[in-house]
Amino acid sequence: MAAADRVERIVIENCSIATVDADDTEYASGHVVVAGNRIEHVGAGPAPAGPENVVRRIDGTGHLVTPGLVNTHHHFYQWITRGLATDHNLFDWLVALYPTWARIDEPMVRAAAQGSLAMMARGGVTTAMDHHYVYPQGSGDLSGAIIGAARDMGVRFTLARGSMDRSEKDGGLPPDFAVETLDGALAATEATIDAHHDGSFDSMTQIAVAPCSPFSISTELLRQGAELARRRGVRMHTHGSETVEEEKFCHELFGMGPTDYFESTGWLGSDVWMAHCVHMNDSDIAAFARTGTGVAHCPSSNARLAAGIARVPDMLAAGVPVGLGVDGTASNESGELHTELRNALLINRLGAHREKALNARQALRLGTYGGAQVLGRADQIGSLEVGKLADLVLWKLDTLAHSSIADPVTALVFGAAAPVTLSLVNGKTVVEGSRLTTVDEEVLARVTRDEARRLARIAAGA
């Protein structure tokens, strides 16, 4: 018997399906067959008769099946510094929090990563990312702790190995004790690629090179970071054009705006994605479109820090790849991505295009296929198509919260946060009946609370 015949299959039937393929194909009542870690069939009506070795058959009545959500920007460690500096703009918020962040250690980062991952996974995220850029000396193997947390949770994961080397003494924003050296940051980033990056089709762990932001990194770290990423064939990520203050900083220090500065250092390209991109003029958007540079749109964080409204409709019209990001939970305390579908739609409708800015299907695409594009994984995840990886979510839409909304995609995006009946990552169950199957949420609630309190005590000098 061939190995393919022994593969375990899961059959899901009687559900609505939004495939988010290139034609936005949807089925009012359809089926998905998962074989191992791949999608074997997706279509209208019942599943084809007779697949071998069906280990589970699910009646999806009352549910919508979508691709799993893809998060494209986050800072996991901030899970233990939520609810602080709540009435600040970005620069004031950073200056208030850097001294606390500089005291993190490995147990804190592990707990915070578990908390961040759990909150996203129970809300339908199947591919997570963490942009981690705070590596205090002697704090342990922080990257290893984060990657281990994602592996244990069972979600697909990109670690954007961040760094900062421009501190106050060099005109930057972070305090001197919170940064690495240029050579130290580059060497540690390459060591992380060596130890953890898997570039295979069904990879569960990928590494990106990710210096933090123009106001916390040297020009040389950008230049050499780009060279490192391209030499090793990994992706590149950073923050860009987040606030008017950042724009002013770039003009004063570099004599140009953020996008021109990134272009001058090799940081535009189809292997790059940037968080925020709120303050972009027409020529910035054209440069992103021309080079295939992606955007992680973080609507709640942008609102929380009063950064502004990113021009997502204009980016999409120009052909810029756009995904959604939670951003760190010190600037988006909920830490959930499924609510960002709604927030992206609502916040963009407050911008220039008003009610034409985004519709429900575009919002769902941002959170799925768009995210896969900016992470460089659109061939593997982000839509429900035969041969792609089995990362999918069954959203329960037959309760009081949604049952009177006829269109399931409208219910998912415009309605309350929908419960997740089942979430599969790589064909394996991560959420069942709204509960995580791989971690104990109550234990995690205690551990993250205790680590948050320990960090607060240390930061206060107690």
Which residues would be at the binding site for Zn ion (CB under 5 A)? 275, 327
Q: Which is nearer to Zn ion, 26 or 327 (CB)?
A: 327
DSSP per-residue codes, 147-199: HHHHHHHT-EEEEEEEE----GGGT-SS-GGG---HHHHHHHHHHHHHHH---
Least Å distance, CB 452 to Zn ion, is 19
Least Å distance, CB 244 to Zn ion, is 17
CB burial string 422-448: b at 16+ within 10 A, e below = bbbbbbbebbeeeebebbeeeebeebb
User: What single-letter DSSP state applies at residue 370?
Assistant: I
Q: Which of 343, 397, 340, 375 is nearest to 17 (CA)?
A: 397
Q: Which is nearer to Zn ion, 275 or 307 (CB)?
A: 275
Least Å distance, CB 65 to Zn ion, is 31
Compute how many other C-beta atoms are within 10 angstroms of the C-beta atom of residue 46.
12
Q: Which is nearer to Zn ion, 165 or 327 (CB)?
A: 327
Q: Which is nearer to Zn ion, 93 or 261 (CB)?
A: 93
Residues sharing a CB contact under 8 Å with residue 330, sequence separation 6 or more, in sequence order: 75, 78, 81, 82, 84, 85, 93, 97
Least Å distance, CB 331 to Zn ion, is 7
CA distance 47 to 226: 47
Q: Which is nearer to Zn ion, 129 or 275 (CB)?
A: 275
Q: Which is nearer to Zn ion, 69 or 275 (CB)?
A: 275
Least Å distance, CB 168 to Zn ion, is 20
Q: Which is nearer to Zn ion, 130 or 327 (CB)?
A: 327
Q: How many CA atoms lie within 13 A of 429 on its CB side?
A: 16
Least Å distance, CB 275 to Zn ion, is 5
Least Å distance, CB 73 to Zn ion, is 6
Q: Which residue is nearest to Zn ion (CB)?
A: 327
Bridge partners of 422, per DSSP, are: 394, 432
Question: Are the C-beta atoms of residues 315 and 295 closer than 8 Å to each other?
Answer: yes
CA 363-369-375 angle, to 5 degrees, is 120
Size of the chain, expressed as the number of residues it contains: 462
